[in-house]
Structure 1
Amino acid sequence: MADRRPIESWLTDMDGVLIHEGVPIPGADAFLKKLRDSGKPFLVLTNNSIYTARDLHARLTRMGLHVPAENIWTSALATAQFLDKQHPGGTAYVIGEAGLTTALHDIGYVLTDSEPDFVILGETRTYSFEAMTRAVRLINGGARFIATNPDETGPSAEGALPATGAVAALITKATGKEPYFVGKPNPLMMRTGLNAIGAHSETSAMIGDRMDTDVLAGLEAGMETFLVLTGLTGRADIDRYPYRPTNIVDSIADLVDLV
């Protein structure tokens, strides 16, 4: 797109772009170093709500990828910021792990299973039938339904795992209530991330490996988009979608010289 302004800020997905099944993708370390050295604002985004930004910082550091905690934006943080603006000081019944519960505690939310304002569904390693049943009853009782992201499956070394979107569908089937999804592809997550680093969509780019979340979110937020082919989307998959990324590259290594 020749009429676009130069890229001054970068947002990038994590899984499938920087790492794959716990292993850094070649070129990721060089790209991140170039970003840090350039002084340009950047964020690593993830729809995964299990970990806090500090947890992810530590995990990435162990892999040799250095991303400060303040440069990590999760769907849990985006969800907490959304709730803090929409309904400050509220109460919630949460299905999720530390990344989500910590973010909610940090905005002053009280976590309870007694007449909460919201049921909030996030990622967890062990979805409990008892917890899902409780969520269904609370939503039927009037609690509003929020989910951190719509991803139906997540990756693992053994294959796909059911994720937030799949469990949300189960709860929706039982209640007739659709959740509000905060994470990608909702452009809200992108815009709150851009605001967190003082960036503007007109001069920002989004890098991702998924057409249905990363590219779509970047497109709807008005950003330039880069699809890398090291994750879930292959070149043959692109034409199945009614929209296209601005750019298609083999991997993050191809973007080092653009920073």
Structure 2
Amino acid sequence: MPPGGTMSKVQNREPADIECWLTDMDGVLVHENKAVPGAADLIQRWVDTSKRFLVLTNNSIFTPRDLAARLRASGLEIPEENLWTSALATAQFLKSQMPHGRAFVIGEAGLTTALHEAGFILTDQNPDYVVLGETRNYSFEAITQAIRLIGNGARFIATNPDATGPSKEGPLPATGAVAALITKATGREPYVVGKPNPMMFRSAMNRIQAHSETTAMIGDRMDTDIVAGMEAGLHTVLVFTGITQPEDIDAFPFRPDQALNSVADLIPHI
């Protein structure tokens, strides 16, 4: 790989021309609850150069305040207003679809708080939507209730498509796996707001008043971060500190605009 870690580049946009940055969190800024080397310096460079940025995560469990505290413990100081979760994106989407609607929610504080703040009533009585998010303790009773409500006409929404999530003991069933169970029982597919739906990125750009022509997305996965960034019209940067590795790229029919060893290699270009 050439010096600086650049593997491939499309010559339409340079990092120095980017005004707004979106970045994935796990595998890009943090790995196993520790900051990736260079991540804190990258955040500081964005602050020093007055760049608008958001850190994105498909995890809908935590509120931005809780997430900021967890990142602080990992060694990263990221203000809560610079965090954008699939829960926030889902709440914004539903607010645009049906202001002051009613929702039956399977999820934790990150999702319920976001929907409350978006003006939704959380109820199991005649909801307009069933909203499925991440939770540490899926309830068979709640899943059964969701199936019945969807059968009675409630619209089915999922915060993200991830089938599994990490834990110290190994993979855990996540939103996508439970959504598949509900789909099998109801015949209804959910509308999924989180990555790789470009809706996640468009809502994030709206949050910081960004334009696709001058916005970049940094991610560690070709099948979520890079493809969604590409479809949203963003400059895409793949880093090899997470899931996708250099030898994996040829398996995909698309390419990132840039591929780097880590976010540390991006700092000199901003």
The normalised TM-score by structure 2 is 0.93
Are residues 1:222 and 2:222 paired? no
Aligned CA RMSD, in angstroms, stands at 1.1
Seq. identity, %: 66
Q: Give the CA deviation at 1:32.
A: 0.8
Deviations 1:50-84 (A, max 9, x none): 00111111111122211111111010000000011
Other structure's SS at 1:39 match: coil
Are residues 1:175 and 2:206 paired? no
Tell me what 1:49 maps to. 60
Q: Alignment length, in residue pairs? A: 259
Q: Give the CA deviation at 1:132.
A: 0.9
TM alignment of 1:3-14, pairs within 5 A: 3-4=12-13, 6-14=17-25
Are residues 1:187 and 2:198 paired? yes
TM alignment of 1:226-245, pairs within 5 A: 226-245=237-256
Are residues 1:108 and 2:119 paired? yes
Q: Which amino acid aligns with 2:125?
A: S
Of 134, 147, 157 in structure 2, the residue corresponding to residue 136 of structure 1 is 147
Aligned-partner Cα distance in 2 for 1:77–1:237: 31
Tell me what 2:161 maps to. 150
Aligned-partner Cα distance in 2 for 1:30–1:243: 30
Aligned-partner Cα distance in 2 for 1:159–1:228: 24
Aligned-partner Cα distance in 1 for 2:166–2:229: 22
TM alignment of 1:242-253, pairs within 5 A: 242-253=253-264
Deviates more, 1:91-100 or 1:21-30: 21-30
Aligned-partner Cα distance in 1 for 2:52–2:263: 17
- Where has structure 1 moved over 4 Å in runs of 4 or more? none
Structure 2 alignment gaps of length 5 or more: 1-9
Deviations 1:156-194 (A, max 9, x none): 233222111111111101100000000111111101101
Deviates more, 1:36-45 or 1:147-156: 147-156
Other structure's SS at 1:45 match: strand
Aligned-partner Cα distance in 1 for 2:168–2:263: 22
Structure 1 alignment gaps of length 5 or more: none
Other structure's SS at 1:66 match: coil
Q: Which amino acid aligns with 1:88?
A: P
Q: Which amino acid aligns with 1:4?
A: R
2:34 touches 2:75 (CA, 8 Å); kept in 1?
Answer: no
Tell me what 2:92 maps to. 81
1:21 touches 1:157 (CA, 8 Å); kept in 2?
Answer: no
Other structure's SS at 2:149 match: helix
Other structure's SS at 1:225 match: strand
Other structure's SS at 1:135 match: helix
The normalised TM-score by structure 1 is 0.97
Tell me what 2:4 maps to. none
Other structure's SS at 2:266 match: helix
Q: Give the CA deviation at 1:3.
A: 2.5
Are residues 1:67 and 2:78 paired? yes
Q: Give the CA deviation at 1:133.
A: 0.9
Aligned-partner Cα distance in 1 for 2:111–2:58: 11
Deviations 1:187-220 (A, max 9, x none): 1110110111111111111001111111111001
Aligned-partner Cα distance in 2 for 1:132–1:234: 36
Aligned-partner Cα distance in 2 for 1:94–1:179: 13
Aligned-partner Cα distance in 1 for 2:68–2:176: 25
Other structure's SS at 1:104 match: helix
